[in-house]
Chains A and B, each alone.
Chain A
Amino acid sequence: MKNALLTVMLWLALIPVGVGMQSQTHPVSGKVYSAEDRQPLPGALVMVQGTNNGVVTDEEGDFRLMIEAGSHVLLISFLGYEPQVLEINVPLDEPINFSLQEEGMAMDAVEIVSTGYQQLSKERATGSFVHADRELVDRRVSPNILERLEDVTPGLVFNRDREGAGTEISIRGTSTLYANAQPLIIVDNFPYDGQIENINPNDVESITVLRDAAAASIWGARAGNGVIVITTKRGIEGDRPRVTFNSNITLREQPDMFYFPQMDVGDFIGVERELFGLGYYNSQENSVQRPLISPVVETLIAERDGIISNMEAERAISEFSQRDVRRELEKYYYRPAVNQQYALNISGGSQSYRYVYSVGLDRNAGDVVDNSDSRITLNGQNHWKFLKNKLNVQAGVYYAQSRSLSGTALPQGYNSPYIHFGDEMGNPLGINRGIRGTFTDGAMGAGLLDWKYYPLAERGMMRDNSETNDLRINTTVSYEIFPGLKAEVLYQYWNAQTNGEVHHPFESFFARDMINTFTQVQPDGTLLRAVPEGGILNLSGVSEESHSLRGQLHYNKVWNKDHEFVGLGGYELKDYGRSDHSVRYYGYDDNIGVNQPVDYLTQYRRYQNNSLGRIPYGNSIGGLTDRFVSYYLNGSYTYKNMYILSASARKDASNLFGVEANQRGVPLWSVGSSWVVSSEKFYNASWLPFLKLRATYGFNGNIDKNVSAYTTAMYMPGSANALSGLRYLQIVNPPNPNLRWERIHITNLALDFESKNRLISGSLEYYYKQGLDLIGDSPFPTSTGIDRFRGNFGATESHGLDVQLVTNILKGRFGWQTYFFHSMIREKVISYDLEAVSRDYVAYGSGALGGSPLPREGFPRYSVFSYAWAGLDPNTGAPRGYINNEPSTNYAGIFSNTQPEDLIYHGPGRPTNFGSVRNDFSFGNFSLSVNVSYRLGYYFRRPTVDYMALLQGRITHEDFARRWTEPGDELITNVPSMPTTLNNNRQAFYNVSEVRIEKGDHVRLQDVRLSYTIGKEKLKTLPFRRLEVYGYANNLGILWKETDAVADPDFRTSRALRSFSMGARIEF
């Protein structure tokens, strides 16, 4: 409540000023925009000559002054533009519009960055912003907007250290340990709660990335990972309707099954034969669990038991060795993906009204047959001005419908690499899945359903569909109370409904397997189907809704021409709710929509192994609520357009659970300053006409809602309780009364410059970040009942450089521009109490999903460690490590005797230097853009042979062929010999030994874009204003890499698929 009072007091303080100023004067209003593209110019200075009276234009480029009646001269100035002077007679009937010409006819328009709260010109900013304008956003062809930031944004990197982990973006590193590490995404003023895939890139005008405290602290407790602000397109006042149509088609190559270097199928069969000879499969053959046994081994068993002759067996096996399941997958399942994109955009406006309407359609045929998705987006934005421009009303609707349809899943549950899905004619073949064939054959004889799996027959059989309807409605009402003071209310309602449906028909293996598993043999020998015959239908629904409300005051004042103040203060509420449910129906008949009940409570015997189990229960309900209350103030003061001071403060409170009310919030603040050195009188370096220094300092926050001050527990449904079926509570965390929010302290120092004629321009930024009070784990003796205690135990430190250079080497008919950026980052965990055993630190870096690294004091958050390698045992070919400096094959001993400090530290697992060089060439109407990107200074574990997998019947890496087979081989190979028993530690040691570590450094040709543009200004007879025809090719390949071990250090197991796009954009 104290904060609420503060806000009220702020109001009261401002009101008398407003009332006092309203007498004796007349309003003069107007708009300032850029002559070139008619975009409004926020932050332009409008002064009445000879007075202190002046204002700065708002984010719409609008201004409003109170001027005494009579004749006055208005001065309009904006950095980078020619100033204008206009004589006026007050009172005026009409608003005045100024269109400013850019200074020196430079090529680039002024960059307007958006914080999500206000728009400001980059020249007036003290903080660290990266701006991607419409041209850059449109450069890439992709359905996803965030992808378009890759390799063009200094400091921003897409992490690929954990394959399959999805898009993990980090901006200037990671300053958290276990809390959310993803940047906050803002779409049109508010944090976006939906799936980013629902934003159509064709509707995006620009993207701003906020990197430091001054830029992001307005977002307070959620800004710790950086902020990405997406601004959608707006109409332009007084513009006649513009219609833009963009259409493109993208072809992405088919997944390459042979990309991962796999061992020879013949070798694999050889291993199976060898193991069979050793009696390795005896236990599986005798197991009560009836595990799947591979076709080769079944053949060998049949031969041993005299069921088939030796010749028959050999013939069958030689046939297996000719097969390869990868060819089957390519033949029957994979295909090139095709994406079609259509977008129509209409914008325009009158004096006091502007609008934009757009329709978008994306259709994507996926790379697996019968898989497709589509997206339809509808967008309408309106902006009205009333009461002589004093009242601004904006209203917009954004609707997206995304659908994904799948009728075919890739075959699964087979291990053997020589499985055949179809005969020569392509007719479906039955294979065994999960359970041994000899058992299922017998079961079918005993009256159970066919227990074979026919992958080809299941193509197109299932239905796995989902649909999301995403609706966003926003409105802004702003009212100018008196010149310079504006009150604004923004409101956004967002709603997303996702419905999913997965139908496994009765004929599917999934349904038959479930029915068979729960088939009960009655005492009299009859069969009872506990799961009734029929299909299995899963339905799920997620309903999400959020309300965001913001009330704020803008104030700006100019006095004595040289002093300028812009302030912003407000209050924000956010209420997000999510509810989800899922249901499963058994015995479902899709033709009549009828299902049958089952008994979820009785424990049945599973037919294949007699174990007890309940019929899987697919019903659940859940709900989440996320609420925020925030207060913020933000101001900047500019003197003589040379010195800028800025400050920002924000307090956030959230519905953290089980926390005392006074710990729910966190106050965060920042200050910044900048100095345009080149405007000083003493400055006379004519070769560098623009030089600006910036410095900021402050705090952002981060939040982990999973910790609490009280003992919290989570209810689990009875279906999770195998023993009793009773619902139960699981303790989530023990009480932590000292819980605090994470804070990230950032210092940013920067230099912006521009040489004469903008031959070279750019910026150089240095930052230093400290993650404080980071939520981490502290080890506890397990006799307390817990082994880890989550609290504010960690701290991290990082510093780095972001360099950006733009050169205009050639201008005119033949143009050549180069955009270069380089980012360097050094990260370190500086405080973390949990000291684990050495083995825990090597889990990360194998490239697989899930291996989230354990933080270790003194090392980067993502560090690659390994165990020292003592070569292969010359007698056995077993991998060796060291115990007390002696080579050893006692792997448990190596693990337990190696202390963390004895591990070899190779380096970070994420790039420490990265950047790109983009060359844009133009010749007449043609332009060509080539982007080469690089990532340096990081390490990964290369894939290699996995004997554990091999011994469990799964094929592995081709390193198998390079394994140790006889004494002497240890001199030429590091690949261990094949063990004949499952020895987890032997494989585990090899996996984490130093011989598997590789450097990830590489340079790649990311993409090329070629376009041809023709406009009316050149050819008057054109029936349209402008036409651009473009081609775009992505993921073109590696140009250089340090390692020979993999084809691509960032795509170690599956290829980065090349794609080619063709498209046209027409403007009418």
Chain B
Amino acid sequence: MKNHKYILYNILFAIVLMGCEEFLDEKPRMDLVVPESIEDLQGLLDASTMGMNDGPGLTQIGSDDLWTTDAGWVGFIFTAEQNAYLWKENIYDDPFSAEWTMSYRQIFYSNVVLKEVQKFLDVPENKKSDLDNVIGSAHFYRANAFHDLLTVFSNAYDPNTSATDLGVPLRLSPNVEERLERASLEASYAQVIQDLKTAISYLPDRPLFPSRPSRASCYALLARVYLNMGNYEEAGDAAKSALAIKQDLMDYNNLDPNIFYPFAQFNPEVIFHSKMITYMYQFSNQVYVNNELIASYDQDDLRTHLYFTPRGDGRYNFRGHYTGNFSLFCGLATDELYYIISETAVRLGNLEEAATYMNHLLSTRYVSGTLEPITFSNQEEALQKVLLERRKGLLFRGIRWQDMKRLNLDLQQAINMEREIGGEVYTLSANSPRYVFPLPDEEINLGGLKQNPR
């Protein structure tokens, strides 16, 4: 009798003791983690699917790289792209902006990494390079995202007004409760440069994987940023530092124009892969390359065959995506560096250097032996030439919009645009506030940020 009782008690008592906390420590899903290792943090930065390798797509459609017909415009399914094409006062049909959301998600992921990485600073020697790569990458991604935001949501950088012009909120911590104002344009650019300089000290020269950033990508972005700021000397130096690591150019003579997308993904010129946020205009065969631009290519220019698909009536679609796919490329590539060096050299008066870099690049773009080397007689003519070459080489790369903004600061280069849809004419005059996209409504309502005037 008694025995039964004690056995029962003991069983029950054992059950009670089992209820220690470890039983409940098991995680509910195998694939769920609280990021807690260098591999986990690298995993956050490798989240291309979450947009780590994406850039703005809405500025491209407003630029003079392209135009469309009435039917083509109707085919833009997203209201935002229809409005952005016509530089309308209101752009979005909801309180969000994909460009804003995407960049700040990149910043959030980077900030999570930079905060969590503090726990692992003390790592064995063989893990040191992984750790450095994570820290450097996070700084690069953050800088890249801030810079993307500045091209969409802020004025071009004018040193005379940058201290008071509005930049973007400089979010440097993953704390979602933190509320920030928009920093000045000057402070915003300073943050981009600081992050890039930090990244340079951590990253390897070349990426560990083609989709990841490297020291070369930091210099290349730095060159773009300095150019946008009008710091020509630093821009040229940064571009040369990047070229010192990676100077590969594809000889277009070796590419097959019969392949629909003649350029490979991660091709030899790509320094950092980034594609534009998807909009319908990118897939439309009724979106045509600027006719004047098309006319500016020489007969022996291989780009006419590799970049364009003829559609009759002198109309051409663009297909020369460095993504190797239907998405538009907006990352960093070596060709851009040559254009930057040429332009900055002209602006600094080194016409010969400018011609050397320009000819080196163009020789890979023409049928072998047909290029008549460019020569510059004076600075003014040289500037016009390098700027035109820059347009011809970097079209549909998400660069033109910011170029238009910065060139407008110089009245001689100012660009006035006109478009006609449905019988109505729309204009965008140089330095119009319409060059700066409005912030999404929810950011004004919830975040209390100051809206851009339109």
Contacts and interface: CB of A to CB of B under 8 A. Distances in A.
A489 B8 contact: yes
Contact of B446 (A287, A610, A781): A781
B107 to A, nearest CB: 6
B414 interface: no
Interface in B174-188: 174, 176, 178, 180
Given A288-B285, A723-B48, A573 B15 contact: yes
A653 B446 CA distance: 36
Interface string B21-56: 101111111111111000010011011111001000
Interface stretch (A4-12, A314-322, A369-377, A1013-1021): A4-12
A526 interface: no
A487 B8 contact: yes
A724 B16 contact: no
Interface bracket on B: 35 or more
Interface stretch (B69-77, B122-130, B247-255, B291-299): B69-77
B265 interface: yes
Nearest to B149: A783
Interface string A777-797: 001111111110100000000
Contacts of A760: none
B437 to A, nearest CB: 14
Given A655-B26, A785-B111, A785-B171, A711 B34 contact: yes
A8 B116 CA distance: 42
Nearest to A630: B19
B101 A787 contact: yes
Contact of A837 (B48, B75, B95, B211): B95
A853 interface: no
Interface in B188-231: 209-211
A982 B12 contact: no
Given A657-B32, A713-B44, A724-B211, A785 B105 contact: yes
A611 B325 contact: yes
Contact of B326 (A283, A391, A611, A661): A611
Given A726-B209, A779-B446, 8 more contacts: A579-B30, A629-B19, A656-B24, A661-B21, A724-B210, A731-B44, A731-B50, A892-B93
Contacts of B211: 723-724, 726
A624 B94 CA distance: 37
A728 B109 contact: no
A961 interface: no
B74 A571 contact: no
A705 interface: yes
Given A783-B180, A982-B77, A622 B30 contact: yes
Contacts of A892: 79, 93
Contact of A780 (B259, B325, B446): B446
Interface stretch (A67-75, A496-504, A714-722, A1034-1042): A714-722
A461 to B, nearest CB: 34
7 smallest CB-CB distances across A and B, nearest first, come from A785-B108, A781-B447, A610-B260, A623-B30, A729-B43, A724-B211, A723-B48
DSSP class of B's interface residues: helix, strand, loop or mixed?
loop
7 contacts: A279-B71, A549-B15, A627-B26, A657-B29, A661-B24, A785-B107, A985-B79
Nearest to A836: B95
Contacts of B286: 283
Interface in A732-780: 732, 734, 779-780
A653 B24 contact: yes
A730 interface: yes
B71 A571 contact: no
A57 interface: no
Given A489-B8, A657-B28, A783 B104 contact: yes
Given A654-B24, A784-B104, A785-B107, A728 B47 contact: yes
B279 to A, nearest CB: 14
A712 B32 contact: yes
A728 B95 CA distance: 29
A711 B12 contact: no
A610 B43 contact: no
A624 B29 contact: yes
Interface in B62-89: 71, 74-75, 77, 79
B443 interface: yes
B199 to A, nearest CB: 19
A811 to B, nearest CB: 51
Contact of B8 (A479, A549, A610, A983): A479
Contact of A612 (B12, B31, B77, B324): B324
Interface of A: 1, 3-4, 7-8, 11, 279, 283, 286-289, 391, 479, 481, 487, 489, 523, 549, 551, 571, 573, 575, 579, 603, 605, 609-612, 621-627, 629, 653-658, 661, 664, 705, 708, 710-716, 720-724, 726-732, 734, 779-787, 789, 837, 839, 892, 895-896, 981-985
Interface of B: 4-5, 8-9, 11-13, 15-21, 23-35, 40, 43-44, 46-50, 53, 71, 74-75, 77, 79, 90, 93-97, 100-101, 104-105, 107-109, 111-112, 116, 168-169, 171, 174, 176, 178, 180, 209-211, 256, 259-261, 265, 273, 283-286, 309, 311, 324-326, 440, 442-443, 446-447, 449
Given A653-B24, A731-B112, A783-B443, A487 B12 contact: yes
Contacts of A895: 93
A79 B204 CA distance: 84
Given A726-B209, A734-B176, A782 B442 contact: yes
A729 B30 contact: no
Contacts of A4: 16-17, 19
A780 B95 CA distance: 12
Given A721-B46, A728-B46, A624 B28 contact: yes
B109 to A, nearest CB: 7
A657 B11 CA distance: 29
Given A479-B8, A711-B34, A785-B111, A283 B75 contact: yes
Contact of A721 (B48, B285, B311): B48
A895 B324 CA distance: 38
A783 B79 contact: no
B28 A655 contact: yes
A605 B261 CA distance: 9
A625 B28 contact: yes
Contacts of A487: 8, 12
A911 B30 CA distance: 40
A155 to B, nearest CB: 31
A782 B443 contact: yes
Give the most central of A625, A658, A728, A982: most B CB within 10 Å: A728
A654 B440 CA distance: 40
Contacts of B96: 782, 787
B260 A713 contact: no
A726 B211 CA distance: 9
Contacts of A716: 31, 47, 49
Contacts of A985: 79, 93
A551 B11 contact: yes
A384 B259 CA distance: 80
Given A629-B19, A714-B29, A612 B265 contact: yes
A551 B171 CA distance: 53
Contacts of A612: 261, 265, 324-325
Contact of A625 (B27, B33, B109, B260): B27
A654 B209 CA distance: 41
Given A479-B4, A787-B101, A710 B31 contact: no
Contact of B40 (A625, A713, A734): A713
Contact of A981 (B5, B71, B100, B109): B71
Contacts of A391: 4
Contact of A783 (B75, B210, B284, B447): B447
B11 A286 contact: no
B210 A785 contact: no
Contacts of B109: 731, 785
Contacts of A658: 34
B297 to A, nearest CB: 22
